[in-house]
């Protein structure tokens, strides 16, 4: 029984069957990649997992609880964090504030009226925030306004914001999309470090085969909204069906 259990998900947009009978099981403490050609339904599946889309049928269980019908902030409070394709950060705030906010969310829940207390007196929060910034090598940039950073740094910041909450499942939506080679390598290294250090369960949606094969322990291949096959990276590489659907175009 995995930490995330997706059973029989169907989702239609008008005449298009975006997801057809998707089953997926992400085991605790693994990195599970979901790959597939454009239009395979990867992003739709991810949006279902985080509560942005509600499927027509099926169930999504996280740690024995259904996530369907819950709002994004409730799903986050259950322990699922999400990294976006283009980094979603608080651009007008400082790097330090960016990581303090998830700490507050983790400690105080979805809403708390702490309007009189001074932020500077929150020593625990500041320590947590500082520790995670050191982990991702951004401690020296803590007073920078987030929008002034490079794209690679924004990605690291977003990761830090997710990690500081100590999520039980980290969802990554094409974490290296549109990145230069060096940035991609850095991101892979960062994810490997996170994995080694914290043992966080991750589900990655990714286009870049290099990223997938250097990180994933299990791979699910989606094609036309249906899972084609699920296996270890070694077996996926040689799988004829996968080659036909997807890898035939790519060099592996």
Partner 1 sequence: MLGLNSRDFRLFLIVCALCLFAPIILNPFPVASSLGESFNAGYPALMQRFVIFGLLVIGFNILFGLTGYLSFGHAAFLGVGSFAAVWMFKLLSYNVVPAIILSVIVAGLFSVVIGYVALRRSGIYFSILTLAFAQMMYSIAFSDLVGKLFGTIVTNGETGLQVYNDDPQILLGQGDPTVPHLFGLEMNSAYTWKIGGWEFVFQNGYYLSALFMVLGFYLSIRIFRSPFGMMLRAIKSNQTRMSYTGLDTKPYMLAAFVISGMYAGLAGGLLAAMDPLTGAERMFWTASGEIVVMAILGGVGTLVGPVLGAGVIKYLENIVSKINDSILHNWFAFMPDWMDNLLVTIIHPFIGKGWHLTLGLLFMAVVIFLPGGLMQLGEKFTALFRRKKTDDAKTGATNPAE
**H-only helix segments in 72-218:** 72-78, 95-108, 123-135, 151-163, 181-198, 209-215
**Residue number, 141 or 239, with CB nearest to partner 1:** 141
Q: What is the CA radius of gyration of the chain?
A: 19
Compute the least distance from the CB of residue 106 to partner 1, in Å.
Answer: 7
Applying the rule CB under 8 A, the residues between 65 and 124 that interact with partner 1 are 71-73, 76-77, 81-82, 84, 88-93, 97, 100-102, 104-106, 108-120, 122
231-247 burial, b if ≥16 CB within 10 A, otherwise e?
Answer: eebeebeebeebeebbb
- Residue 203 found at the interface with partner 1 (CB under 8 A): no
Partners of 82 in the β-ladder = 171
Angle at 114 between CA 112 and CA 116, to 5 degrees: 165
**Residue number, 106 or 142, with CB nearest to partner 1:** 106
Number of residues that bind partner 1 (CB under 8 A): 38
Burial degree of 248 (CB within 10 A; 0-12, 13-18, 19+):
exposed
- Residue 151 found at the interface with partner 1 (CB under 8 A): no
**Residue number, 90 or 213, with CB nearest to partner 1:** 90
**Residue number, 120 or 181, with CB nearest to partner 1:** 120
- Residue 148 found at the interface with partner 1 (CB under 8 A): no
**Residue number, 93 or 130, with CB nearest to partner 1:** 93
Helix (H) or strand (E) holding 65: strand 65-66
Compute the least distance from the CB of residue 130 to partner 1, in Å.
Answer: 16
Neighbours of 68 (CB within 10 A): 15
Using CB under 8 A, pick the residue from 19, 22, 26, 50 that binds partner 1.
50
For binding to partner 1 (CB under 8 A), which residues are involved? 50, 71-73, 76-77, 81-82, 84, 88-93, 97, 100-102, 104-106, 108-120, 122, 161, 165
């Amino acid at each position: 029984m995995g930490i995330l259990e997706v059973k029989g998900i169907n989702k239609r947009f008008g005449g298009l069957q975006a997801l057809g009978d998707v089953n997926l099981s992400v085991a605790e403490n693994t990195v599970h990649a979901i790959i597939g050609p454009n239009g395979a339904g990867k992003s739709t599946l991810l949006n279902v997992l985080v509560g942005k889309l509600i499927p027509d049928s099926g169930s999504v269980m996280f740690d024995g609880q259904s996530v369907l019908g819950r709002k994004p902030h409730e799903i986050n409070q259950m322990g699922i964090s999400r990294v976006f394709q283009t980094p979603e950060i608080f651009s007008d705030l400082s790097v330090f504030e960016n990581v303090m906010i998830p700490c507050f969310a983790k400690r105080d829940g979805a809403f708390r009226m702490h309007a009189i207390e001074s932020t500077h007196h929150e020593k625990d929060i500041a320590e947590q925030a500082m520790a995670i910034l050191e982990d991702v090598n951004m401690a020296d940039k803590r007073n920078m306004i987030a929008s002034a950073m490079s794209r690679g740094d924004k990605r690291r910041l977003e990761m830090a914001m997710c990690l500081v909450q100590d999520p039980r499942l980290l969802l990554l939506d094409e974490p290296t999309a549109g990145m230069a080679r060096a940035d991609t390598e850095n991101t892979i290294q960062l994810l490997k470090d996170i994995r080694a250090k914290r043992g966080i369960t991750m589900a990655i949606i990714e286009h870049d085969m290099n990223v997938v094969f250097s990180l994933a322990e299990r791979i699910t291949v989606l094609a036309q909204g249906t899972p084609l096959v699920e296996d270890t990276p070694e077996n996926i590489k040689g799988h004829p069906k996968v080659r036909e659907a997807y890898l035939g175009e790519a060099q592996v």
